[in-house]
Amino acid sequence: MGMSVLSKLEENIPSLRRYAWTLLRNSSDADDLVQECLLKALDRIDTLRAASDLRSWLFTIMHNLYVNRWRRMKLRARLAADNAEAELAVGPSQQASAEIQDVLRGLSTLTEEQRQIVLLVAVEGFQYGEVAAMLGIPVGTVMSRLSRARDRLREFVEGRERPLLRRVK
Amino acid sequence: MTAVERPIGEDELHAYVDGFLRPERRQTVERYLADHPDAATRIAGWQSVGDALREAAAWKFQEPVPATLNIARLAETRIANRWGPWRMAAGVVIALALGAGSGWLARGPREAGAAASASKVAAAANREPGAHPVQLAAAQPAQLAGRVTQGATGAGTPPDLSKSGYRLVGGQVVASGQGPACMLQYEDAQGTRITLLMRPVQKHDTSATQFAESGGGNGGRAPQLAEAGADSGGRVPQFAEAGDASGRRAPQLAEGGGTSGSAPRLAEGGSSGGAAAAGSCP
């Protein structure tokens, strides 16, 4: 395993951590998922066809781990969100703005698929076709879920959902 | 209606927000949004959502990567987990297991026990071809071998069987009757796989055969495997015809200048999942 492969893997760790955290909203669970993903990637590095595919290849591995093996984490994350215990912090020294808190609250009301898609597109910057391949679904499905996710989150960011959410809590 | 331009689709509104549109199409969408305030409001909302999401997650991206995710360390761990047992190796036992249907290779009755356990391990591992993925794939066998040599001091290097047409494709640590062993898998151009079982042995380990390491004192060097030349007569332990489905010959095991008087002659047989054990005691 050459050093160049390792450093290319390393370059992707910050975005893997970001995606894992936005999915799980728990830092230690997220890093456990990333670690599992990296170990799997190290085991399978010879199945990577081209270095240019590395990032979406890594995200595919992590997606599969998340879906197939982290169901309990997923449930925990949802439970945490329901209990308003999911991490809202934007860093140890920063205060989360109201908008950020709103969008994170909105995120936990999305379906699992909507959440993955909107994060992969809006935060991680993947093309729609890449997301479709990663998740094993048609591009059309990606687009319709993206619409629903964005419209739903818009309601939170624009404040329309806040009163309702407070009543629920 | 004079519209010749393609109507704007919702997909293009997303592509506009995500910056995936070509410049000319982007201008078309901008003109459309200027004429459609509802759509413009919606798109502005999507953009705010994206900004908020990116801002919410930015701290995690910028956070220093914890030591538990140090990629070099993880790579080392991956190797060490597989090869760790070798660090304390006092010697090496090698068993060569030829795939299903191969010949039974054993030094003699005395070694039958050791060979049989090696055989069991290999047979168990080979029971379902394809169902047991190679755990440590060797995209670059030479580098892997180097790593192993460094990481498993005294344990030995995976033998180079390239002269026999077999290349190292992977390995994994498996249980054997005498403790952890390392199973190495080699493959030739036709896809025929052979499995080599290596394990550390103690001096008093009588189950190990004794011929392999000639150097004696240089504790733990792997027995050298090499293509036996034409002069292999008698001295060189040599695996008999494997008798596997392909009828190809098994790689031959040559001793590096042995001290063990008569070379063990590995018997040929017909049972399946055969294995032979060879080993060293420093």
Q: Bigger pLDDT: B225 or A17?
A: A17
- DSSP class of residue A39 equals H
The answer to whether the Cβ–Cβ distance between B42 and A154 falls below 8 Å is yes
Q: Within this chain, do residues B153 and B272 fall inside the same structural domain, yes or no?
A: yes
Find, in chain B, the residue whose alpha carbon is nearest to that of A127.
B20
Q: Bigger pLDDT: B38 or B282?
A: B38
User: For B169, phi and psi rounded to 5 degrees?
Assistant: -115, -10
Instruction: State which of B62, B77, B98 marks the end of a domain.
Output: B62
pLDDT of residue B281: 32
| Domain boundaries, position A81 | 1-87
Q: Bigger pLDDT: B160 or A109?
A: A109
Q: Within this chain, do residues B247 and B110 fall inside the same structural domain, yes or no?
A: yes
The answer to whether the Cβ–Cβ distance between A6 and B14 falls below 8 Å is no
pLDDT of residue A167: 45
| Domain boundaries, position B52 | 10-62
The answer to whether the Cβ–Cβ distance between B56 and A14 falls below 8 Å is no
Q: Within this chain, do residues A59 and A114 fall inside the same structural domain, yes or no?
A: no
- Residue B274: count of CB within 10 angstroms of its CB: 33
Q: Within this chain, do residues B194 and B235 fall inside the same structural domain, yes or no?
A: yes
B71 touches chain A (CB under 8 A): yes
pLDDT of residue B189: 78
Q: Is A91 helix (H, G, I), strand (E, B) or coil?
A: coil
Q: Within this chain, do residues A82 and A102 fall inside the same structural domain, yes or no?
A: no
Q: Within this chain, do residues A19 and A77 fall inside the same structural domain, yes or no?
A: yes
The answer to whether the Cβ–Cβ distance between A90 and B55 falls below 8 Å is yes
Instruction: State which of A87, A121, A144 marks the end of a domain.
Output: A87
Judge whether B266 and B106 are in contact, CB under 8 Å: yes
pLDDT of residue B102: 37
Is a pLDDT exceeding 90 seen at residue A2? no
In degrees, rounded to 5, the angle at the alpha carbon of residue B220 between the alpha carbons of residues B215 and B226 is 60
Sign of the CA dihedral B16, B17, B18, B19? positive
Domain count, chain A: 2
* pTM of structure: 0.54
Judge whether A112 and A25 are in contact, CB under 8 Å: no
- DSSP class of residue A110 equals S
**Candidates A18, A40, A48, A105, partner chain B, best to mutate (most B CBs within 10 A):** A18
Q: Within this chain, do residues A83 and A109 fall inside the same structural domain, yes or no?
A: no
Close Cβ partners of B65 (under 8 Å, ≥ 6 residues apart): A10, A13, A14, A17
Q: Within this chain, do residues A25 and A100 fall inside the same structural domain, yes or no?
A: no
Q: What is the mean pLDDT of the segment spanning A123-151?
A: 97
**ipTM score here?**
0.87
A127 touches chain B (CB under 8 A): yes
Question: Model confidence over B238-253: pLDDT tens digits?
Answer: 333 333 333 344 443 4
pLDDT of residue B66: 93
Which range has the worst mean pLDDT, A107-116, B8-17, B198-207?
B198-207
Within-domain flag for B84? no
B10/B42 Cα distance (integer angstroms): 11
Q: What is the mean pLDDT of the segment spanning B144-165?
A: 58
Domain count, chain B: 2
Q: Bigger pLDDT: B87 or A36?
A: A36
Averaged confidence pLDDT in chain A = 83
Q: Within this chain, do residues A37 and A103 fall inside the same structural domain, yes or no?
A: no
A46 contacts in chain B (CB < 8 Å): 137-139
Q: In residues, how long is chain A? A: 169
